[in-house]
Amino acid sequence: MICRIFWGKLRLGMWTEYERYYNEVVVPATAKMPGFRGRQLLRSSENPDEGISLTFWETKQDMEQYIRSQARADIAKGAESMYTGEYWVKDFEVKSLSLLSLGNV
Question: In which band, very low, low, confident or very high, does the pLDDT at 4 lie, cut at 50, 70 and 90?
Answer: very high
Per residue in 41-53, pLDDT (tens digit) is 999 999 999 999 9
**Mean pLDDT, range 20-25, rounded to an integer:** 96
Task: Give the C-alpha separation, 17 to 21, whole Å.
Answer: 6
Q: Does 38 fall in a domain?
A: yes
- Which residue range is the domain that position 55 belongs to? 2-92
Q: Does 8 fall in a domain?
A: yes
pLDDT > 60? residue 34: yes
Task: Give the C-alpha separation, 52 to 40, whole Å.
Answer: 8
- The enclosing domain of 45 has a CATH number of 3.30.70.100
Look at the chain and report how many structural domains it folds into.
Answer: 1
Q: Does 75 fall in a domain?
A: yes
Q: Does 104 fall in a domain?
A: no
Q: What are phi and psi of 73, to 5 degrees?
A: -60, -40
Say if CB 9 and CB 44 are below 8 A apart.
no
